[in-house]
Structure formats: structure tokens, C-alpha cells
A and B are shown apart, each in its own frame.
Chain A
Amino acid sequence: QQQVKQSPQSLIVQKGGISIINCAYENTAFDYFPWYQQFPGKGPALLIAIRPDVSEKKEGRFTISFNKSAKQFSLHIMDSQPGDSATYFCAATARNFGNEKLTFGTGTRLTIIP
């Protein structure tokens, strides 16, 4: 019940295209869903996050879509650029004081080709 399932495992998108990564969860106690971006040799960095009281959140070229009834959420990268090539992880947590434990998906390696 603690798993977060992420797909696809790898993704190749042409420059200027839309990259879409999907995640699904089981634990209905999860109430915070961040996405992390990780470049080789670096730690994950927070990209964007959403809470389940909204269905969509947009920050620049990055958008999270959230479907509470289906227990699914996805990351859309518009106008994908070569600099977006990285590994992306979805994550989830049930927030309460003292609980910062994140459950991560298995990651998606995104490659943007010219």
C-alpha cells in the first residue's frame, strides 16, 4: 500500500514536444505529491508539487495533473528542451508533524533529442 508506481521507465521526446510521465498510488492517506528532477551525479531537486485539493498545478513549462478518484497524477513538460534531459521521480507522503518520509516512484529517464 506504500508503493508509488511510475511509468514509463524511459522516454525519448523531440525538442519542443510534450513529455508526459505518469504515477499511481494506493495509500489514500497520501496528501502531498512532489516531483523531483535528478541529473547525473546530483541529488534529486524538487521541481513542482501538488496537494489533492486541486486538480492541476502549473509552474512555467511544468504542469502536474491530479486525479484523486483514480489515485493517479502526472507530470507534463511542455516545449521540452535538451536541458530537461534528466531522471524524474514522482513521490508521495502523508503529512503530519515529524513525518517527512517520501515514498518515491522508480524513476523515468527522459531524453530530449534535437
Chain B
Amino acid sequence: DAGVTQSPTHLIKTRGQQVTLRCSPKSGHDTVSWYQQALGQGPQFIFQYYEEEERQRGNFPDRFSGHQFPNYSSELNVNALLLGDSALYLCASTFLPTGANVLTFGAGSRLTVL
């Protein structure tokens, strides 16, 4: 049973560019959350998607946007990249209707902005 898969695993961009990160949730999961983990820090919540809608959002600017597809997979888009956007971006999934709080995380996409 595949867990949460993310792509790409590593990427390098320059300031001002745009990036799209992709996530496939664990089989049976319908909710996807995105977290940003700066080096040496704990993950910070970006937003959550359920039923193809953004349900919750953390304290991130509008440059961060997302999407969830009918197959529950998700994309995270970041526009106008800044050096401070360099981080590990983690996708986490869960099955919401059961009320479970167990998030399954992927290995992340490491973004470096030069």
C-alpha cells in the first residue's frame, strides 16, 4: 500500500519564478494538507483541501495557492518565489469523515530558491 507520494523530490528555482509541487494521498484518504518546513524548524501549516475546496489556511501569503483534483491528489503552487521560500514542503493526508487525526506525511519536496 503506497503511502503519500510527492514530486519532485528536489528542485532549484530562482527568485521571481513560479513552482508547482504535486502530492498523491495515501490510498483511502480524501484530505490533503500542505506544510512548509524550514531548515531546523517544525512544519508550518499552509492549507488543507477537502472535497476539492480549501478548508483551512495558515498564515501564508496569497502567493501560495493550491488545488485538489477529483482523485484527491493535490498541487501546491508558489508564485514570485523569494529566497525565504526555500524549505521542505510536506504533504499530509488523512480520511476526514472518520474524525481521525492521524496525518500520514510524504517525504517532501525540497525547494531551493537562488
Contact = CB atoms under 8 A, between A and B. Distances in A.
Interface string B3-18: 0100000000000000
A95 B99 CA distance: 8
Interface stretch (A14-22, A55-63, A97-105): A97-105
Interface of A: 4, 6, 32, 34, 36, 41-46, 49, 89, 91, 93, 95, 97-107
Contact of A93 (B42, B44, B58, B101): B101
Contacts of A42: 107
B89 to A, nearest CB: 10
Contacts of B99: 95, 97
Nearest to A99: B56
B72 interface: no
A36 B92 CA distance: 13
A43 B40 contact: no
A105 B42 CA distance: 6
Contact of A106 (B42, B48, B56): B42
A43 B106 contact: yes
B101 A34 contact: yes
